[in-house]
C-alpha cells in the first residue's frame, strides 16, 4: 500500500511518533512518505488565518495518517487549517493520532481527535483508528508502541 503520513509538530514529539510509525509501516512492506506541515508565522491557539507553506497532496496515497499536537484542549490550528484546505479525502482510509503533555486523554486529546475525525469524515474519509500519546505518562514508550501498533493494524486490515 502507498501510505502518506501528514504531521504537524512544533517541538518534535508528534514527529517522533510519526517516524516510529513510518519505520513500522515500511518494515511491513508499505511505501511510506512523511510530510510535515509548516506554517508561515506563528502557530498558536486562536490564530484563525494560519497560512501553510504547502498543503500536502494526498491524492496518490491509498491510506493517510494524520498526526498533531493538542493545543489548548483542541487540535493545533495548523492541522485544522490543513483539514480545511485539503481538497478531498474521499475513498481514503485514514488514521489519526495526537500527542499531548497532560496525562489523560480527556484533558484535550479526545476533543482534538473528535475534531480531526469529524473534519476527515466531512472530506469523505473513513476513519479506521485513532490514538493519543500522553507525553507526561511514565509508560510513554509503551503507549507510543501501542498507538503505532493500532494505527498500522487499522491501515493494513
Ligand atoms: C500552545 C500550546 C498549547 C498546549 N495545550 C495543551 C493542552 O491543552 N493539553 C495538553 O495535554 N498539552 C498541551 N500542550 C502540550 C503539547 O500538546 C505537547 O507537548 C505535544 O506533545 C507537543 O507536540 P510537538 O512536540 O509535536 O509539537 C500545549 C502546547 C502548546 C505549545
pLDDT reported for residue 10: 95
pLDDT reported for residue 48: 81
* pTM passes above 0.95: yes
pLDDT digits (tens, 9 = 90+) for 57-66: 999 999 999 9
Where do the domains of the chain lie? 2-156
pLDDT reported for residue 95: 98
Closest atom of ligand 1 to 7 CA is 26
Assess whether the C-beta atom of 103 lies below 6 angstroms from ligand 1: no
Assess whether the C-beta atom of 100 lies below 6 angstroms from ligand 1: yes
**Alpha-carbon gap, residue 100 to 89, rounded angstroms:** 25
* Regions of the chain with pLDDT less than 70: none
Please provide residue 146's backbone torsions phi and psi, each rounded to the nearest 5 degrees.
-70, -40
Assess whether the C-beta atom of 55 lies below 6 angstroms from ligand 1: no
CA dihedral angle for residue 139, residue 110, residue 14, residue 24, rounded to 10 degrees: 70
Distance 73 CA to ligand 1 centre (A): 8
pLDDT reported for residue 47: 85
| C-beta of residue 123 within 8 angstroms of C-beta of residue 96 | no
pLDDT reported for residue 49: 84
Task: Calculate the average pLDDT of the chain.
Answer: 96
pLDDT reported for residue 118: 98
Q: In sequence order, what are the residues at sequence separation of 6 or more whose Cβ sits closer than 8 angstroms to the Cβ of residue 144?
A: 17, 20, 133
What's the per-residue H, E or C state across 2-56? EEEEEECCCCCHHHHHHHHHHHHHHHCCCEEEEEECCEECCCCCCCCCCEECCCC
Is it true that domain 2-156 has CATH number 1.20.120.530? Answer: no
Amino acid at each position: 500500500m502507498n501510505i502518506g503520513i501528514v504531521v504537524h509538530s512544533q517541538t518534535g514529539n508528534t514527529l517522533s511518533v510519526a517516524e516510529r510509525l513510518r519505520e513500522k509501516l515500511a518494515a511491513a512492506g508499505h511505501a511510506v512518505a512523511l510530510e510535515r506541515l509548516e506554517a508561515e508565522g506563528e502557530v498558536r491557539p486562536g490564530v484563525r488565518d494560519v497560512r501553510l507553506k504547502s498543503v500536502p497532496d494526498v491524492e496518490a496515497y491509498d491510506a493517510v495518517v494524520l498526526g498533531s499536537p493538542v493545543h489548548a484542549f483542541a487540535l493545533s490550528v495548523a492541522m485544522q487549517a490543513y483539514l480545511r484546505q485539503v481538497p478531498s479525502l474521499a475513498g481514503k482510509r485514514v488514521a489519526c493520532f495526537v500527542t499531548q503533555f497532560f496525562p489523560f486523554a480527556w484533558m484535550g486529546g479526545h476533543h482534538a481527535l473528535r475534531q480531526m475525525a469529524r473534519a476527515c469524515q466531512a472530506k469523505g474519509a473513513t476513519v479506521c483508528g485513532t490514538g493519543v500519546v500522553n507525553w507526561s505518562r511514565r509508560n510513554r514508550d509503551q503507549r507510543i508502541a501501542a498507538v503505532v501498533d493500532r494505527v498500522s493494524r487499522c491501515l493494513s486490515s
